[in-house]
Structure 1
Amino acid sequence: MRAGLHFWNFTVPGAPHTLADLAVDTVRTAEEGGFDQLTVMDHWFQMEAMGEASEPMLEAFTTLGFLAGHTSRIRLGPLVSGVTYRHPGILAKTATTLDVLSRGRSMLGMGAAWYEREHAAMGVAYPPLSERFERLEEAVQIVLQMWGTDEGPYAGHHYGLAETLNRPQPVSQPHPPILIGGKGPRKTLRIGAQYAQIVNFTTSDVDEVAHLMDVLRRHCDALGTDFDAIEKQVMAGRRDPFGDDFLPDMQRLRALGIDLAVLNVRKPDPRGWTERLATEVLPHLTEV
């Protein structure tokens, strides 16, 4: 099984002055240590389930562009970009820029958004959940059109673009992978089955993942898309990667068809934690 590193917490000693160097050191350690993917959150505030909302939070794409310049192999992307945060045309342009400047090492994680407090704080509209899912699907369609050969208009219920001109086009071929994150069986996984190249189930509970894999497969069968062509990921960052049950559970997940497990950095020393993961966990994980 392959591994990804999720850099979700920027509360480090000496921040903000130390943050740039520490982020570079952490990501280089991850790349040299064998991680295949580096993701950051796309939020304005820290998630209240993970810390205080007032804790430091860097803007996702600026951070990813900065880290792209200090790496050469690892895949980079947001996990995930909420549909309410940027107009889809701007999101496509931003994601394209990351792909070009990273020499084709990007992916685009997309989701329906959920953090109402930060929307209210920033004065950003927060539509009802059903509308956010409608907007998510239209946003995926817009991004794919801007990454294709059709430069004509896009007319949706929520978004209308007079042109979908997007130059330069991405370096990745046919385009950067779209990742859909979440585990909603009716909408999230259906959108993933229809449009995504990567699905992250946002859990690593073995029984739950087994159920979600079955749901995703049924959506693929109904839509006529290729279940086996979709990369499947789990979020394992809140687990103890040094615990006795971690590797056995990863083996069970791999047997279910999971391709990549996302692990989290930990404060106050994300570089040291990442080095320990690379030394003590990844050699065994890659054998799973």
Structure 2
Amino acid sequence: MKLGLQVPVFTFPQGQEHLGDTFGLIAERAEQVGLYSFWVMDHFFQIAVFGPPEQEMLEGWSALAFAAGRTKQIKLGTMVTGITYRHPGLLVKTATTLDVLSKGRAYFGVGAAWNEEEHQGLGVPFPPLKERFERLEETLQIAHQMWAGDETPFEGKHYQLQRPLNSPQSVQKSHPPILIGGAGEKKTLRLVAKYGDACNFTLRLGADVVAHKLNVLREHCATEGRPYEAIEKTTIDSFALTRDGRNGTVSPAQAIEKFAALAEMGIDHALFSLQNIADSEPFEVLNNIVPVVDKIPVAGR
């Protein structure tokens, strides 16, 4: 089983003047302890589950480029890019650039977008939900076309690209893995089955709901003629990790038990954020956890 670290909060005890140093050190530590992947949210304002909108929030793709310069092996992704934030042709170009400069380490994390407050705040158009999903599907089509090297014009309902040229091409072949965020059963999971390489479910849904969503994804894969096993199943969680589980934190044994339960459900890749991420302790603990979890078999694999 693979493990990945998400950094959703950039308000560190060290202060904003040390934000780059702290963030870079976190990326380095994540790689040093053997984590498979490193993720940031792609938001412009902080979201309510983590803090007020005024808290520091780094732009996602720039932050990943910075992290790429501080690391050598760890995979890098957005969890996830709202499709309304960037024109799809430029977004594919951005993701390709990260993949090229990091020597093949990019994930392409995308979703239909939901945070109306940051759209209004920065003057970004926020279409109705139906249109956002239409735009998401067209973006996925454009991504596949550009990564296939097909420069023929793209004529969609919302996007028209006269020459979708993408040079240089991505290092990963046939393209960086496409992770589609969200758990909607009629639209999102259908898009995962048709266009995606990975899905993501928040564990706030509960284990039974996640198991149900996986079954729905399996049905969509059958409809699309896509092997269910071809989709990387990921989850996202948040907790504080300490060596002794003090004050309601998660201990090493509890963490391993948590990840083993996810592997038994068929989750390939468990992502998490650390509420004590600015401390060295959780990384010291992870140094012992990661080798154990790496050996846990994933059900169905």
Please give the range of the TM-score, normalised by the shorter of the 2 chains: over 0.9
Find the counterpart in structure 1 of residue 225 from structure 2: 224
Describe how 1:21-40 pairs up with structure 2 within 5 A: 21-40=21-40
Structure 1 position 252, deviation (Å): 2.7
8 A Cα contact 1:181 1:202, kept in partner: no
Counterpart Cα distance in 2 of 1:247 and 1:278: 10
2:287 is the alignment partner of 1:279: yes
Counterpart Cα distance in 1 of 2:87 and 2:171: 22
Secondary structure of the corresponding residue to residue 201 of structure 1: strand
Counterpart Cα distance in 2 of 1:77 and 1:278: 20
Give the letter aligned to residue 280 of structure 2.
G
Secondary structure of the corresponding residue to residue 120 of structure 1: helix
Find the counterpart in structure 2 of residue 58 from structure 1: 58
Describe how 1:104-143 pairs up with structure 2 within 5 A: 104-143=104-143
2:72 is the alignment partner of 1:72: yes
Find the counterpart in structure 2 of residue 237 from structure 1: 238
What RMSD in Å do the two structures reach over aligned CA positions?
A: 1.7
8 A Cα contact 1:29 1:274, kept in partner: no
Find the counterpart in structure 1 of residue 190 from structure 2: 190
Counterpart Cα distance in 2 of 1:92 and 1:190: 21
Structure 2: segments with no counterpart, 5+ residues: 241-248, 297-301
2:7 is the alignment partner of 1:7: yes
Task: Give percent identity, aligned residues only.
Answer: 44
2:162 is the alignment partner of 1:167: no
Counterpart Cα distance in 1 of 2:274 and 2:203: 17
Structure 1 position 243, deviation (Å): 8.1
Secondary structure of the corresponding residue to residue 80 of structure 1: strand
Counterpart Cα distance in 1 of 2:46 and 2:289: 27
Counterpart Cα distance in 1 of 2:279 and 2:37: 16
Give the letter aligned to residue 282 of structure 1.
V
8 A Cα contact 2:109 2:180, kept in partner: yes
8 A Cα contact 2:203 2:236, kept in partner: yes
Structure 1 position 287, deviation (Å): 3.8
Give the letter aligned to residue 208 of structure 1.
V
Give the letter aligned to residue 226 of structure 1.
P
Counterpart Cα distance in 1 of 2:179 and 2:9: 21
Find the counterpart in structure 2 of residue 153 from structure 1: 153
Structure 1 position 134, deviation (Å): 0.8
Structure 1 position 273, deviation (Å): 5.0
8 A Cα contact 2:43 2:59, kept in partner: yes
Normalising to structure 2: TM-score of the pair? 0.90
8 A Cα contact 1:206 1:252, kept in partner: no
Structure 1 position 244, deviation (Å): 7.0
After TM superposition, the structure 1 stretch with the greater mean CA deviation from structure 2, 200-209 or 95-104, is 200-209
8 A Cα contact 1:44 1:59, kept in partner: yes
Counterpart Cα distance in 2 of 1:219 and 1:174: 22
Q: Give the 3 Å change call, closer, same or farther, for CA 39–277 of structure 1 in structure 2.
A: farther
Find the counterpart in structure 1 of residue 257 from structure 2: 248
Q: Give the 3 Å change call, closer, same or farther, for CA 72–245 of structure 1 in structure 2.
A: closer
Counterpart Cα distance in 2 of 1:138 and 1:60: 22
- Picking from 278, 287, 290, the partner of 1:270 is 278
Structure 1: segments with no counterpart, 5+ residues: none
* Matched residue count: 287
Structure 1 position 50, deviation (Å): 1.4
Give the letter aligned to residue 216 of structure 1.
L
Structure 1 position 241, deviation (Å): 3.9
Structure 1 position 266, deviation (Å): 2.2
Report runs of 4+ in structure 1 exceeding 3 Å deviation: 238-241, 243-249
2:267 is the alignment partner of 1:258: yes
Structure 1 position 77, deviation (Å): 1.0
8 A Cα contact 1:10 1:19, kept in partner: yes
Counterpart Cα distance in 2 of 1:151 and 1:273: 50
Q: Give the 3 Å change call, closer, same or farther, for CA 187–88 of structure 1 in structure 2.
A: same
Counterpart Cα distance in 2 of 1:157 and 1:223: 23
After TM superposition, the structure 1 stretch with the greater mean CA deviation from structure 2, 91-100 or 195-204, is 195-204
Find the counterpart in structure 1 of residue 246 from structure 2: none
2:177 is the alignment partner of 1:177: yes
